[in-house]
């Protein structure tokens, strides 16, 4: 499956379902809850969703609003060790179960996010 097909397959709505299900869990999480801006969670949700939509063939809203993603650099202010990375993926796994995307879309996206999450680790 190529990246354009992913956006065609699940559309804005698929990304929205997945990322909303992820962010619903964030405030109550004992590791991630304090890392994310509590009073700006709706905007944070929009940033991640728009990044993925643009990355996989949809409208380029993220780049228009935020510029080049530079994701590893943008994550440096947060202490991301293996435990935080694994928790982030655990929340995403639950979000995948809730969002019930088509299996091939889920497999592709899960692999991408898992690799990117490992790349974001910036502390032992
Ligand atoms: C490994 C665990 C990760 C942790 C603990 C983490 C944590 C955070 C936090 C605390 C923010 C700030 C929230 C905001 O104000 O937007 C953020 C932003 C963001 N994260 Fe992550 N993140 C992780 C992995 C990822 C991955 C795998 C991706 C994408 C593939 C990603 C994409 C983004 C994007 C697009 C933003 C918004 C950046 C901006 O424009 O300022 N993150 N992340």
Domain ranges of the chain: 3-119
> Count H helices, E strands: the chain?
6, 0
Instruction: Output the pLDDT for position 4.
Output: 60
Which residues, at least 6 apart from 91, have a Cβ–Cβ distance to it below 8 Å? Answer: 22, 25, 26, 29, 32
Nearest-atom number in ligand 1 for the CA of 114 is 27
Instruction: Output the pLDDT for position 5.
Output: 84
Model confidence at 1, pLDDT cuts 50, 70, 90, reads low
Other C-beta atoms closer than 10 Å to the C-beta of 85 total: 19
Other C-beta atoms closer than 10 Å to the C-beta of 67 total: 8
- Decide whether any atom of ligand 1 lies within 6 Å of the 66 Cβ: yes
State the average pLDDT over residues 110-117.
97
> What is the whole-number distance in angstroms between the Cα of residue 44 and the centre of ligand 1?
8
**pLDDT tens profile 16-61:** 999 999 999 999 999 999 999 999 999 999 999 999 999 999 999 9
User: Using CA positions, which residue lies closest to atom 34 of ligand 1?
Assistant: 48
- Decide whether any atom of ligand 1 lies within 6 Å of the 36 Cβ: yes
Instruction: Output the pLDDT for position 7.
Output: 94
Q: What percent of the chain has pLDDT over 70?
A: 97
Q: Which CATH class, in words, describes the domain spanning 3-119?
A: mainly alpha
Tell me which of 22 and 5 has the higher pLDDT: 22
Model confidence at 3, pLDDT cuts 50, 70, 90, reads low
In whole numbers, what is the pLDDT of the chain averaged over residues? 96
Q: Tokens 């935080």 label which residue?
A: 84
């Amino acid at each position: 499956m190529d990246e354009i097909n992913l956006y065609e397959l699940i559309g804005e709505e698929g990304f929205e379902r997945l990322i909303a299900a992820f962010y619903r869990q964030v405030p109550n999480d004992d590791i991630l809850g304090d890392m994310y801006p509590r009073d700006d969670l709706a905007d944070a949700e929009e940033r991640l969703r728009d990044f993925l939509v643009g990355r996989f063939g949809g409208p380029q809203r993220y780049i228009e609003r935020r510029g080049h993603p530079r994701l590893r650099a943008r994550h440096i202010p947060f202490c991301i060790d293996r435990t935080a990375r694994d928790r982030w993926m655990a929340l995403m796994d639950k979000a995948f179960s809730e969002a019930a995307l088509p299996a091939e879309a889920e497999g592709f996206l899960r692999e991408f996010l898992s690799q990117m999450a490992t790349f974001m680790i910036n502390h032992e």
